[in-house]
């Protein structure tokens, strides 16, 4: 089954979209996501997909067209990055509030100013409260696999909310890696037929989308939206189990690496997790009980499951590839939220790293582990939040 190829993250995602064959895609170019929809456009031009491609004049219109198309009643996808996601901001909430299962690869990139086209998580983190499911990928294989799974998750009849599949700009989107593609027929079968809910194109039952909802109902609609998010983890795991059966590749809400008996832990998402794992191996050889937790599903955030996974560690370093200026890093805040429910609370530090594509180097992981060892020994925490890898 499947075939093994050497492709970039963008290429793998474009290929996944080809296999999934959405009914409508709307797209607008933005670095580093451009290349993804550009490759997909080739499939459209060559008649390899049935997709109607709407080449809009802005990302705001891209998401608006996706919203119209999804409400019309079909499978819809787009892709973007950074400023593009920022321009979509208004429409992201509307897509989620209207419960439309749009799927969007987000090639994570820094936000301006100053202008920068390289990878960090500022864009995705800025969209964490929009009501979208967010799944982060470490490498091209994960981006491909997550994209295939995300259609099932978003379109699940008990869910029906949009999903973003995130990968690090350039680091993953433009690096050639070994990727195992699933057979076309298996993807098609796995994703299944799109089931429309209240399609606008049903002329026999005219519906109105987008009413004005005033003070007497708005609060209740939001309560219902919250409820949906509580059902997502179950569906994510259910889909992952089925995916594992098909491919042998295992996915969870997060990944634990040598965490089982760890005394100290690093929490980090996406591509930086790979580098961190290598350094963890080196420290393990020296007898240091260090492990890693890599959140995959950031929205909804699996607080209780993460608390359970981290309950035995003494010290945690949360590495954020985004800053919340004047606050802790967004991932740190979530992990702190998870830790809140623990009886034994570990010490926690927050490192901001890799902004605007700054390389995350093995030395930085070493520096963090050394600090964790010290905290674990002394019980003393210095600065809670610090930038690492910064030129001083």
Partner 1 sequence: MTTKALKLKELAKGEDRFAHGHRMCAGCGAPIVVKQVLMATDYPIIAANATGCLEVSSCIQQFTAWKIPWMHSAFENAAATISGIEAMYRSLVKQGKLEDKNVKFIAFGGDGGTYDIGFQALSGAMERGHDMMYICYDNGAYMNTGIQRSSATPFGADTTTCPAGDVIPGKLQNRKDLTRIMAAHGIPYVAQASPANWMDLMKKVQKAFEIKGPKFMNVIAPCNRGWRSRTDDAIALAKLAFETCYWPLYEIENGITKITAKPKEKKPLVDFLKPQGRFKHMFAPGNEYLLEQAQAYVDAQWERLQKEAAFWGEE
Partner 2 sequence: MSKKFWETLPQGSVVLEAGSSAKFKTGTWRSMRPKWIEENCIQCMFCWMYCPDMSVKVNAEGKREGFDYDYCKGCGICALECPGKKGNKAIVMEEEGK
Min separation Cβ 46 and partner 1, Å:
16
In the complex with partner 1, the residue whose CB is nearer, 217 or 241, is: 217
What is the three-class DSSP state of 271?
coil
Cβ 125 vs Cβ 328: under 8 Å: no
Pairing of strands 133-136, 297-299: antiparallel
Span of 19-27, 131-139, 215-223, 307-315 interacting with partner 2 by CB under 8 A? 215-223
Round to whole Å and give the CA distance between 243 and 254: 15
Min separation Cβ 26 and partner 1, Å:
6
Q: Which of 3, 207, 245, 391 binds partner 1 (CB under 8 A)?
A: 207
- Binding of residue 220 to partner 1 (CB under 8 A): no
Q: Which of 47, 206, 287, 382 binds partner 2 (CB under 8 A)?
A: 206
Q: Which of 2, 74, 233, 389 binds partner 1 (CB under 8 A)?
A: 74
Q: Which of partner 2, partner 1, none interacts with 382 (beta carbon under 5 to 8 A by kind)?
A: none
How distant, in Å, are the alpha carbons of 12, 23, 53 from that of 44? 16, 11, 7
Span of 49-57, 98-106, 123-131, 269-277 interacting with partner 2 by CB under 8 A? 98-106
Min separation Cβ 66 and partner 2, Å:
14
Question: How is 144-163 classified by DSSP, letter by letter?
Answer: HHHHHHHHHHHH-TTT---E
- Binding of residue 264 to partner 1 (CB under 8 A): no
Pairing of strands 24-27, 76-77: parallel
Tokens describing residue 156: 């699940």
Q: Which of partner 2, partner 1, none interacts with 3 (beta carbon under 5 to 8 A by kind)?
A: none
Span of 48-56, 130-138, 156-164, 341-349 interacting with partner 1 by CB under 8 A? 48-56
Is the dihedral angle over the CA atoms 8, 239, 153, 259 positive or is it negative?
negative
User: Residue 229, class by beta-carbon neighbours within 10 Å (0-12 exposed, 13-18 middle, 19+ buried)?
Assistant: middle
Q: Which of 202, 238, 308, 359 binds partner 1 (CB under 8 A)?
A: 202
Q: Which of partner 2, partner 1, none interacts with 56 (beta carbon under 5 to 8 A by kind)?
A: partner 1
In the complex with partner 2, the residue whose CB is nearer, 44 or 94, is: 94
- Reference 279, options 200, 204, 372, 356; nearest CA is 372
Q: Which of 27, 70, 280, 372 binds partner 1 (CB under 8 A)?
A: 70
Span of 22-30, 153-161, 247-255, 321-329 interacting with partner 1 by CB under 8 A? 22-30
Instruction: Name residue, tokens 């997550």.
Output: 146
What is the three-class DSSP state of 7?
strand
In the complex with partner 1, the residue whose CB is nearer, 66 or 167, is: 66
Q: Which of partner 1, partner 2, none interacts with 345 (beta carbon under 5 to 8 A by kind)?
A: none
Instruction: Name residue, tokens 């864009």.
Output: 123
- Binding of residue 83 to partner 1 (CB under 8 A): no
User: Residue 240, class by beta-carbon neighbours within 10 Å (0-12 exposed, 13-18 middle, 19+ buried)?
Assistant: buried
Tokens describing residue 27: 């797209």
Is the dihedral angle over the CA atoms 325, 119, 32, 55 positive or is it negative?
negative
Which residues of this chain interact with partner 1, rule CB under 8 A?
A: 23-24, 26, 50-52, 54-58, 60-62, 64-74, 76, 90-91, 94, 98, 200-203, 206-214, 216-217
Which residues of this chain interact with partner 2, rule CB under 8 A?
A: 97-100, 160, 197-198, 205-211, 213, 217, 220-221, 223-224, 227
């Amino acid at each position: 089954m499947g075939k093994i190829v050497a492709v970039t993250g963008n290429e793998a995602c474009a290929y996944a979209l080809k296999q999934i064959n959405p009914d409508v895609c709307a797209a607008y170019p933005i670095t580093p996501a451009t290349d993804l929809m550009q490759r997909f456009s080739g499939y459209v031009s060559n008649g390899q997909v049935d997709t109607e491609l709407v080449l809009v004049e802005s990302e705001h219109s891209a998401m608006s067209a996706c919203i119209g198309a999804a409400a019309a009643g079909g499978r819809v996808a787009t892709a973007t990055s950074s400023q593009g996601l920022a321009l979509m901001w208004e429409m992201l909430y509307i897509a989620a509030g209207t419960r439309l299962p749009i799927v969007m690869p987000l090639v994570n990139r820094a936000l301006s100013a100053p202008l920068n086209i390289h990878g960090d998580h500022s864009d995705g983190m800025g969209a964490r409260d929009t009501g979208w499911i967010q799944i982060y990928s470490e490498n091209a294989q994960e981006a491909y696999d997550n994209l295939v799974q995300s259609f099932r998750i978003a379109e699940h009849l008990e869910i029906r909310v949009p999903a973003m599949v995130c990968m690090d700009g350039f680091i993953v989107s433009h690096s050639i890696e070994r990727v195992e593609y699933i057979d076309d027929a298996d993807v098609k079968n796995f994703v299944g037929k799109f089931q429309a809910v209240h399609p606008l194109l049903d002329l026999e039952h005219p519906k109105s989308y987008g009413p004005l909802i005033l003070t007497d109902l708005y609060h209740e609609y939001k309560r219902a939206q919250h409820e949906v998010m509580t059902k997502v983890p179950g569906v994510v795991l259910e889909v992952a189990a089925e995916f594992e059966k098909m491919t042998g590749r295992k996915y969870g809400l997060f990944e634990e690496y040598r965490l089982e008996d760890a005394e100290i832990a690093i929490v980090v998402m996406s591509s930086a997790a790979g580098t961190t794992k290598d350094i963890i191996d080196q420290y393990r050889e020296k007898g240091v009980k260090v492990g890693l937790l890599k959140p995959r599903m950031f929205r909804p955030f699996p607080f209780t499951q993460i608390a359970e996974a981290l309950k035995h560690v003494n010290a945690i370093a949360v590495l954020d590839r985004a800053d919340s200026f004047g606050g802790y890093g967004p991932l740190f805040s979530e992990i702190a939220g998870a830790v809140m429910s623990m009886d034994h609370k570990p010490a926690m530090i927050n490192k901001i790293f890799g902004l605007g594509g700054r390389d995350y180097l093995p030395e930085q992981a070493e520096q963090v582990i050394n600090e964790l060892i010290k905290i674990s020994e002394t019980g003393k925490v210095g600065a809670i939040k610090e930038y690492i890898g910064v030129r001083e």
